[in-house]
Amino acid sequence: MADNNQSFSLVWFRGDLRLHDNEPLTMAIKQSQGRILPFYCFDVRQFGPTYSFGFPKTGPFRAEFLIESVQCLRDGLRKLGSDLIVRVGKPEEEIPKLIKSLNVPVTHLFGQKEITSEETDCEKSVHRALGKLDKKVESKLVWGGQTMHHIDDLPFQVEGGHPLKVFTHYRTMMESKNISVRQPFPSPSKLQSLPKTGKEDREVSVGDLPDLDQLMAIGNFGKWLQDHVQRDPNYKGDEIVKEGPTSNSKKHRDPAQVMTGGEVAGLKRLHFYLWEGRHIDTYKSTRNGLLGSTYATKFSPWLATGCLSVRQIYHEIKKYESKHGANDSTYWVTFELMWRDYFKWVGLKHKNDIFKLYGLKGEKKDEQREWKKDVSTFEMWARCKTGYPFVDANMRELTATGHMSNRGRQNVASFLTKDMKMDWRMGAEFFESFLIDHDVTSNYCNWLYVAGVGNDPKENRYFNVVKQGHMYDSKGEYVCYWFPQLKKLPDADHMMQPFLYKGPEGTFSLDRDYCEPVVKVNFKKEGGDHHRSHGKKDFKIKRGGHGGRTVRDGAPQHSSTH
């Protein structure tokens, strides 16, 4: 039982929904000898419309993952003797309300510092609200939990940030200077119980978690979601019991496609991918896969919610390498995680420019370039009706599960911006709504990159979606999974371009089974070379901090493999 005269520290959980490697939590425990108030607020603004195009900011897949993550955090805290206080509202209103209701002094607030403006504006509002309380509450928002490398360890100033111009500069600088990754903070082993509230010394109300329907009702997006959420055509499981945002919730989906929120599931995935399955050994050759659960790590949704710490992943990989040996694949996972860090620094440096149409190009903008905003054209892309199965299958996976492979993301983004010539932000906001792993800087900076207004040193990068379909889905298995009617077509050539089919009537019909292409993509088959080699260039990169070994195919994630 907590002593009412002793002070407490409030821990504001945000994008760090975990007990392991949690610096604000560790600091709070130290500050108040274990007397902490763990707090999470479902911020209603995150369930309203997206900034420019009014899509649901947090769609049902991510909302579901988030609820599970918060529940898991609460379960973990309960096991340690504490609990998680949960509210639905605005942190700047809910935090002071909670502090005022308690019978004990709260002297400190600890939390993770975020990067982009909505989150930092919220921090400022909380800070202002705390300043209005009768008793001083010192707020400490700390860096460090979001990135593999700590901001204080960077060999340059993010604001000046010359090495941030191009990823390769950044990576080689970090590797050549051998910048190490800090050790994770250990999870706490015991906590004190929550304090009492009010004159009657009642238990503090910890609050129920909202359910998916409640969260989706905040923005009143029922109709929009009904129109855009798709179902897996292969899953013949549970009947849909009702229409609406929850009609495609996890209980109506193929369990193989489902990822569960929370640090327990995240750590389990890490253990599985490394130690149990040893899938990390072959990551570099499988990472462009499209079907199944082991072609890539799938760490991203747990990273995006902070259920998994990136430092924990890094050190687990190092442990794995010292037991089983390092290879290009084990290195490549950390290489990809450097992209994640890189985009966080880019977001920090360029602030709201990452949300602007001309992105990082600023005044060098290309006035000739067309950026359409026509909603009915956009809907062809969003509702999987572009007429190009490699695009539509990926979009169906996204809108039926909340996930899409990296290869898929690059293709659908390129198609929307370079072939359909649409405003890239429509795609980015749609991704924000649907992706369970939505991460502001990874999403927006990748869109900038593919749209040609970001950090890509190569001008006019373009993914030909027909060619890419042949390269990465050479037998059409992926497109047929999401559009089973394409199995009626005789070969992969037609599966990638069904509108070319001129077969006998009564078999495949474009009108009945699929749709006309929304634009024309030029594709000429050139002797099938790309089928065999995957079109990869054979060039080398140097890995500075790894003994300068060279590896084949140094193309970064946004490789020249198209």
Give contact residues for ligand FAD (rule: CB under 6 A).
287, 296-300, 303-304, 333, 336-337, 339-340, 343, 405-406, 409-410, 413, 431, 435, 437-439, 442-443, 446-447, 450, 557
Q: How far is the CB of 536 from ligand FAD (least distance, A)?
A: 16
What does the CA dihedral 448, 449, 455, 456 come to, rounded to 10 degrees? -150
Q: Where are the beta strands (DSSP E) in 254-334?
A: none
Please, which residue, 438 or 467, has the CB nearer to ligand FAD? 438
- Whether 253 and 237 have beta carbons less than 8 Å apart is answered as yes
Q: How far is the CB of 435 from ligand FAD (least distance, A)?
A: 5
Q: How far is the CB of 429 from ligand FAD (least distance, A)?
A: 11
Give me the count of residues in the chain.
Answer: 562
Please, which residue, 39 or 345, has the CB nearer to ligand FAD? 345
Please, which residue, 197 or 557, has the CB nearer to ligand FAD? 557
Q: How far is the CB of 311 from ligand FAD (least distance, A)?
A: 13
- Cα separation, 446 vs 453, in Å, equals 10
> Is residue 283 annotated as involved in ligand binding?
yes
Q: How far is the CB of 100 from ligand FAD (least distance, A)?
A: 37
- Whether 455 and 448 have beta carbons less than 8 Å apart is answered as yes
Q: How many CB atoms lie within 10 A of CB 251?
A: 11
Please, which residue, 430 or 501, has the CB nearer to ligand FAD? 430
Please, which residue, 300 or 330, has the CB nearer to ligand FAD? 300
> Is residue 331 annotated as involved in ligand binding?
no
Q: How far is the CB of 556 from ligand FAD (least distance, A)?
A: 8
> Is residue 342 annotated as involved in ligand binding?
no
> Is residue 437 annotated as involved in ligand binding?
yes
Taking only Cα atoms into account, the Rg of the chain, rounded to an integer number of angstroms, comes to 24
Q: Residues 164, 170, 175, CA angle at the centre, nearest 5°?
A: 165
Please, which residue, 9 or 386, has the CB nearer to ligand FAD? 386
Instruction: Spell 42-79 as b/e; 16+ CB within 10 A means b.
Output: bbebbbbbbeebebbbbbbbbbbbbbbbbbbbbebbee
Q: How far is the CB of 316 from ligand FAD (least distance, A)?
A: 13
Please, which residue, 249 or 334, has the CB nearer to ligand FAD? 334
Taking Cα atoms as reference points, which of 427, 464, 460 lies closest to residue 446? 427
Q: How many CB atoms lie within 10 A of CB 299?
A: 21
Give CB contacts under 8 A, 24+ apart, made by 520-527: 521/388, 521/415, 521/419, 521/464, 521/465, 521/466, 522/464, 523/464, 523/466, 523/467, 523/497, 525/470, 525/493
- Chain Cα centroid distance, residue 172: 25
Q: How far is the CB of 332 from ligand FAD (least distance, A)?
A: 8
Name every residue whose Cβ is closer than 8 Å to that of residue 545 and which is 6 or more positions away in sequence.
Answer: 174, 175, 176, 177, 178, 179
Please, which residue, 170 or 447, has the CB nearer to ligand FAD? 447
Q: How many CB atoms lie within 10 A of CB 176?
A: 14
Annotated binding site for FAD: 283, 437-439
Task: Pick out the residues of the known binding site.
Answer: 283, 437-439
